[in-house]
Amino acid sequence: MTHADRQRGFTLVEMMTASAILGVLVVVLATMMNNVSKIWVTSRDKITSLQNGRAILEFMSRDLQRIAAPKISFGVPAAQNASFPAYSLAFIQFLQDAGTASGGLQDWLPDSQTAVPNSSNIFGQVYGENTPRGNLWIFGYYLAEDDNQTRWLYRLAVSPSDANNPANANPDYRLFASGSGAQPGNDPSGNAWLGGAAMFNPNKYAFPLGENIMAFYVVCLDYHRQPIPWLSQANPAAAPLKFNSAAAFVMPQISGTAAADQAFVYLQSTGAGVPVRPAHKLPAALRISILTADKKSLKRLAAQSQSLPAPPDLSDYRAGHKLDYDLVAIRAYQKTLTEAPYNLGGVLLFTLNINLNQGGP
């Protein structure tokens, strides 16, 4: 072998072949890394959504385990709170889907929030942190959309004490008050204590609990785990309330006796203008469902200036699915969001049944 043969390098063809092979390998590796990265991000977002959804329901469950059972009278001297008329009786009350007869929950929300149509809300009292004015707090949950079309699940928490001067009563704290302790039939005016923009102030009492919540449904159940019917079935003037512990009703019991097995019934006047007494009972249980979505796909939808559809109206599903109409409705909505034209990712459904303590803590 000569000296010239020992110094021979790669030919141009060999270099080009090697470069082509290397280029193909780089492209393949880059594609694989990109796919792995996408899978990792998708899995991370799904895990985050799962954790957030479970955390929301766990938080709500802890709240509802401290719920205050409705009482026939909860004496509050008028001197303690100017909002109570003299000699009135104040009532602990639980409400589902409260709002005004004309505008629903929207009439109470600030201009920066829009109530999500057909979604549920619940309000009542829970035993919370001790204050100089007691430990009975007003609580609530509702779904609203901000100016950026982001849907938030809000938690309402109103202390009985004034934040600036805890020794004084909170002027925004109100309970259902009645001079006689009786309601004529199923008077829907019992939710008026919730009214007022001050109580729904997002910087004072209303705080976001979860972001990108597409739907929020609450169904009140009786002792037989049957959905409690609309108040409006018994009294059309009672809309939009769907459950009111201060309404007059008979709740079926657990025992097997014929009288106890009767269906949930709203009571009307006993005749001769004599009003029936409020039941002052909680539902036996609540079925709570929330639907979450992936933040990234929602941003993509917003960039396309495409609005989210409203959740289904539960009343459209009650005829054919009496026991689980809310679950049928929210699953149909879940399917709608994951298909064209929305194509949202990470749309997850969370459902929890919570038994309510009828006697309070």
- What is d(CA 146, CA 330) in angstroms, rounded to the nearest whole number? 22
pLDDT at residue 186 tops 80: no
Question: Residue 81 — pLDDT band, cuts 50, 70, 90?
Answer: very low
The pLDDT value recorded for residue 184 is 41
Q: Which contiguous run of DSSP H or E holds residue 355? A: strand 348-355
pLDDT at residue 247 tops 90: no
- What is d(CA 84, CA 88) in angstroms, rounded to the nearest whole number? 7
Whether residue 75 contacts residue 90, with contact meaning beta carbons closer than 8 Å, is answered with: yes
C-alpha 64, offset from chain centre: 13
- What is d(CA 54, CA 237) in angstroms, rounded to the nearest whole number? 37
**Least reliable range by pLDDT among 98-102, 152-156, 191-195, 335-339:** 191-195
**Beta bridge mates, 74:** 90
Averaged pLDDT score across all residues of the chain: 79
Question: Residue 329 — pLDDT band, cuts 50, 70, 90?
Answer: very high
pLDDT at residue 144 tops 80: yes
pLDDT at residue 85 tops 60: no
- Strand pairing report for 114-115 and 95-96: unpaired
Which structure tokens are listed for 185?
């039939």
pLDDT at residue 255 tops 70: no
**Least reliable range by pLDDT among 18-27, 205-214, 274-283:** 274-283
Whether residue 154 contacts residue 216, with contact meaning beta carbons closer than 8 Å, is answered with: no
The pLDDT value recorded for residue 263 is 67
The pLDDT value recorded for residue 80 is 45
**Least reliable range by pLDDT among 6-15, 47-56, 71-80, 91-100:** 71-80
Question: Residue 169 — pLDDT band, cuts 50, 70, 90?
Answer: confident
> Which of the two residues, 231 and 121, has the higher pLDDT score?
121
For 125, residues 6+ apart whose C-beta sits below 8 A from its C-beta are 67, 68, 92, 93, 94, 136, 137, 138, 139, 175
**Least reliable range by pLDDT among 234-243, 263-272, 306-315:** 234-243
Average pLDDT over residues 221-242: 66
pLDDT at residue 260 tops 60: no
The pLDDT value recorded for residue 225 is 83
What is the three-class DSSP state of 46? helix
The pLDDT value recorded for residue 180 is 45
